[in-house]
């Protein structure tokens, strides 16, 4: 079955540590995205990528970094520079950047204490 | 900038019809999508309006009026499983063709 996988589902880290969230898709989609969702809020775009080895900042990129070395993979690193990293992180993909339909992974809930 | 407004919460009874409104201020706007998200889950795509008018998909319909910068999602024959958050998302040329999401409307369906 095609889809997007994110791991782990729950992640706990101490303040000051970098942490990398995994996102893999086997849908053969060109575009991939990372969103952050806080309780009771909408989705805010962190980074997106149209093609391998290319990515662009979204609305809230500060304190985050990404890579796109393979079409299938788009990992997100939450660095110690992110002031309030505790949140629900969602990865998504679409056929191309303009596609209105995005497919989402199950999400990773990150708690930093 | 881009902004979308939705009611934060709507309550309805099973079997009823509910309308969730979305107004947007988005330069370079070219379409409105709707997503459903159950608690703790991933958003799933429901519908897209690239043109003015009504799009129907089973019990769900979505409407867009570009002149009013307004759209809505209509859910008919409500079921308990429809209890979820619903997000409108605007696609805009000026935002690098990205989707900008509204804050979401939490729908509670009661027996």
| Residue of A58, A85, A74 lying closest to B99 (CA atoms) | A58
The pLDDT, as a whole number, for residue B97 is 60
Check: CB of residue A46 under 8 Å from CB of residue A38.
no
Helix (H) or strand (E) holding A94: strand A87-94
| Cβ-Cβ contacts under 8 Å for B2 (sequence gap 6 or more) | B24, B25, B26, B27, B90, B92, B94, B95, B100
DSSP sequence for B7-57: -SEEEEETT--EEEEEEEE-TTEEEEEEEEE-TTS--EEEEEESSSEEEEE
| Cβ-Cβ contacts under 8 Å for B97 (sequence gap 6 or more) | A97, A98, B91
CA distance B79 to B89: 24
Taking an 8 Å Cβ-Cβ cutoff, which residues of chain B contact chain A? 4, 8, 31, 33, 40-45, 48, 50, 87, 89, 91, 96-104, 106
**How many interface pairs between A and B have CB atoms less than 8 angstroms apart?**
57
Nearest by CB to residue B101, choosing from A42, A103, A107, is: A42
Locate A59 and state its tokens. 């609305």
Are A43 and B45 in contact (CB < 8 Å)?
Answer: no
Are A40 and B104 in contact (CB < 8 Å)?
Answer: yes
- In 3-state terms, what secondary structure has residue B82? helix
Are A42 and B50 in contact (CB < 8 Å)?
Answer: no
The pLDDT, as a whole number, for residue A95 is 86
The pLDDT, as a whole number, for residue B75 is 98
Are A100 and B87 in contact (CB < 8 Å)?
Answer: no
**The dihedral of CA B31, B55, A49, A23: what is its sign?**
positive
Are B42 and A98 in contact (CB < 8 Å)?
Answer: no
- In 3-state terms, what secondary structure has residue B84? strand
Neighbours of B39 (CB within 10 A): 8
In sequence order, the β-bridge partners of residue B87 are: B35
- In 3-state terms, what secondary structure has residue B95? helix
Check: CB of residue B24 under 8 Å from CB of residue B3.
yes
Residuewise pLDDT in 10s, chain B (111 residues): 679 999 999 999 999 999 999 999 988 888 999 999 999 999 999 999 999 999 998 999 999 999 999 999 999 999 999 999 999 999 887 655 678 999 999 999 999
């Amino acid at each position: 079955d095609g889809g997007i996988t994110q791991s782990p589902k729950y992640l706990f880290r101490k303040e000051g540590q970098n942490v990398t969230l995994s996102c893999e898709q086997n849908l053969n989609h060109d575009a991939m995205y990372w969103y952050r969702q806080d309780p009771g809020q909408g989705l805010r775009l962190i980074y997106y990528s149209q093609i391998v080895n290319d990515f662009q900042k979204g609305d809230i990129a500060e304190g985050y970094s990404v890579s796109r070395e393979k079409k299938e993979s788009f990992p997100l690193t939450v660095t110690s520079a992110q002031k309030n990293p505790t949140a629900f992180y969602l990865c998504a993909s679409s056929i191309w950047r303009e596609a209105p339909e995005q497919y989402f992974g199950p999400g990773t809930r990150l708690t930093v204490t | 900038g881009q902004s979308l407004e939705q009611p934060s919460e709507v309550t309805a009874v099973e079997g009823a019809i509910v309308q969730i409104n979305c107004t947007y201020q988005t330069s370079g706007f070219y379409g409105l999508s709707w997503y459903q998200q159950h608690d703790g889950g991933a958003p799933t795509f429901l519908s897209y309006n690239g043109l003015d008018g009504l799009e129907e998909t089973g019990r769900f319909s979505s409407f867009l009026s570009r002149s009013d910068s307004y759209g809505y999602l209509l859910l008919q024959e409500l079921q308990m499983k429809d209890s979820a958050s619903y997000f409108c998302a605007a696609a805009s040329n000026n935002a690098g063709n990205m989707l900008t999401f509204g804050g979401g409307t939490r729908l509670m369906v009661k027996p």
